[in-house]
Amino acid sequence: MIIQLDMQSELPIYTQLVNQIIEGIASGRLKPGEPLPSVRSLASDIGINLHTVNKAYTLLKQDEFILVHRQKGVVINPDGMPGITKNYRNKMRGELKPIAAEAICRGMSREQLLLEVERIYQEITQTDKEND
Amino acid sequence: MIIQLDMQSELPIYTQLVNQIIEGIASGRLKPGEPLPSVRSLASDIGINLHTVNKAYTLLKQDEFILVHRQKGVVINPDGMPGITKNYRNKMRGELKPIAAEAICRGMSREQLLLEVERIYQEITQTDKEND
Amino acid sequence: MIIQLDMQSELPIYTQLVNQIIEGIASGRLKPGEPLPSVRSLASDIGINLHTVNKAYTLLKQDEFILVHRQKGVVINPDGMPGITKNYRNKMRGELKPIAAEAICRGMSREQLLLEVERIYQEITQTDKEND
Amino acid sequence: MIIQLDMQSELPIYTQLVNQIIEGIASGRLKPGEPLPSVRSLASDIGINLHTVNKAYTLLKQDEFILVHRQKGVVINPDGMPGITKNYRNKMRGELKPIAAEAICRGMSREQLLLEVERIYQEITQTDKEND
DNA sequence: GTGGTCTAGACCACG
DNA sequence: GTGGTCTAGACCACT
């Protein structure tokens, strides 16, 4: 699992970490049951503080993307991912709305916008299917 | 123009303001050339700090959504909205990616995701076309 | 709001804090909408680190006992408390079970156990109704 | 005696073990004088570390739920269970208080809470009286 | 060696 | 001045 952080980004490091791990799962590079590095090793690997990694893991744990197994350590939730809850739907819509609004302002058509989304969907699901 | 702010949101107030004005433009409720309230009056209307409104206006000006005339006051950019620049495309994709990734993780199909986006597109463009 | 911490307790400080604030709400000493001290001031008041207070507040926020208002600061959730969700019921039962089991082992009758619970219920709801 | 451990639980494994054995006694599935598996065999049976089982047994011994004979092995205390000591009462009340407080916050009535406790009491004492 | 907790001190965004 | 983020270093409980 390669993690790419942008230390200049406005997004907190732990958020970038969360996003990248979720993208890793979405792309199939990280599979249910698969172990994740310990907070300490990941932190030292990517050169950040262990508390920052810990916060990312805590958030992922809260949403049940990962779980902390007392023996196996941190693993991608083997029982599958959290579903499409009402809460989640609202959160997603709240995030999509300002993006769509700006796209509309800038003259993007419905088709163009959908194409962008489709393109990203493809990009994620087809990432590195053969290599690991 | 009715502004709805959530003081409990994790989003800064000025970001919520920016979003709502952009949504206002996208929905057609705010038209190019149309005046916006002054920093002072908007701030007192919705009960927030001057600086907060100022910051929102500054950001909107930077992206050329609005123009700030010393005398005429603040108006929606009469020369039309900013276009779909390369910068904007990258920004949008960067925002869509984690949303799409989480949707995929949670088992949302390409069609479901596109439907959500389409739904929001509709919702914005058909918002309150008659009433103000 | 008087906070009593036991630094020798096996319970983490932040958990004790969470419990005491919840007890404060349950007893009526803390009312919905009422402001809580800032993390910094509370931390210095009770002589602990601000991060510890922060963790307690974060947990209370997650469960919607409190919320962080951008203008008013931290307040007891004015929209009322979280309800009796399925999750909560399961959590509560999971906590009660070992307590009940040990009580049974030690020969406590159903009546005695219920009396204990009733006693505590009274104790909480009648705490300092007149004084603040 | 079937032991069900949750490796994802926040509760340490040894605590879960202690709880389950106490529940076993409370339910009547484990009777005074009855032998318990050796540290070694129990550990290998449920796939955990020797030390973990050992810690659980040590705690149970401290509270006199079990006796550890060098030769006879581990048995449920044949002289009966520990009584309702002052220490125990305080411990129990300290555990019940935050549970009751949260229940009150969430709007649970005295009757509802007592019903929950009664329900659990029943559940334990009627667990699998015939089957083992 | 693991995650969890706590402290201390720093910077930043926000209002 | 507020909460949020990040770092650094320490101790402990657990396995």
Q: Quick one: three-class SS letters along D12-43? A: CHHHHHHHHHHHHHHHCCCCCCCEECCHHHHH
Same domain, A47 and A101: no
Beta-carbon separation of B114 and A117 below 8 A: yes
DSSP class of residue A4?
-
Residue A87 has pLDDT above 70, yes or no: yes
Same domain, D28 and D70: yes
Q: Tokens 């490796």 sit at which residue? A: D7
Confidence of residue D70 (pLDDT cuts 50, 70, 90): confident
Same domain, C54 and C30: yes
**CA C86 vs CA C70, C91, D57, D89: distances in Å:** 31, 9, 34, 29
Tell me whether residue A52 is in a domain.
Answer: yes
How close are the terminal C-alpha atoms of chain A, in Å?
A: 8
Residue C5 · residue C46 · CB < 8 Å: yes
Tell me whether residue B2 is in a domain.
Answer: no
Tell me whether residue B7 is in a domain.
Answer: no
Determine if strand E comes within 7 Å of the CB of C17.
no
Same domain, A54 and A100: no
Same domain, A67 and A29: yes
Non-local (6+) Cβ contacts of B80 within 8 A are B32
Residue B107 · residue A25 · CB < 8 Å: no
Tell me whether residue B54 is in a domain.
Answer: yes
Same domain, C25 and C65: yes
- Which positions in chain B touch C67 (Cβ < 8 Å)? 8
Residue B68 · residue B61 · CB < 8 Å: yes
Tell me whether residue A101 is in a domain.
Answer: yes
Q: Which tens digits make up the pLDDT trace of D10-52? A: 999 999 999 999 999 999 999 999 999 999 999 999 999 999 9
Report how many domains make up chain D: 2
Residue C106: give the domain boundaries.
Answer: 86-127
Determine if strand F comes within 7 Å of the CB of D50.
no
Q: What secondary structure does DSSP assign to A62-129, as a single string?
A: HTTSEEEETTTEEEE-TT------HHHHHHHHHHHHHHHHHHHHTT--HHHHHHHHHHHHHHHHTTTS
Tell me whether residue A8 is in a domain.
Answer: no
Tell me whether residue B115 is in a domain.
Answer: yes
φ, ψ dihedrals at B36, nearest 5°: -110, 155
Q: What secondary structure does DSSP assign to B74-103, as a single string?
A: EEE-TT------HHHHHHHHHHHHHHHHHH
Same domain, A66 and A45: yes
Same domain, A72 and A91: no
Q: Which tens digits make up the pLDDT trace of C74-85? A: 999 999 999 999
At least 3 CB pairs under 8 A between chains B and D: no
Closest residue in chain C to residue D113, using alpha carbons only: C117
**How high is the pLDDT of residue C17?**
96
Determine if strand F comes within 7 Å of the CB of A73.
no
Tell me whether residue B106 is in a domain.
Answer: yes
Confidence of residue A127 (pLDDT cuts 50, 70, 90): low
Per-residue CB contacts under 7 A with strand F, chain C residues 39-58: 39-41, 51, 54, 57-58
User: Which residue ranges of chain B lie beneath pLDDT 70?
Assistant: 127-132
Determine if strand E comes within 7 Å of the CB of A41.
yes
Choose the mutation target among A65, A70, A72 for the interface with D, i.e. most D CBs under 10 Å.
A70
Beta bridge partners of B75: B35, B67
Same domain, A32 and A65: yes
Same domain, A94 and A71: no
**How high is the pLDDT of residue B108?**
97
Confidence of residue A37 (pLDDT cuts 50, 70, 90): very high
User: Which residue ranges of chain C lie beneath pLDDT 70?
Assistant: 127-132
Residue A9 has pLDDT above 70, yes or no: yes
Same domain, D71 and D37: yes
**CA C103 vs CA C7, C47, D89: distances in Å:** 27, 36, 9
> What CATH number corresponds to the domain at position A33?
1.10.10.10
Same domain, D66 and D116: no
**How high is the pLDDT of residue B127?**
53
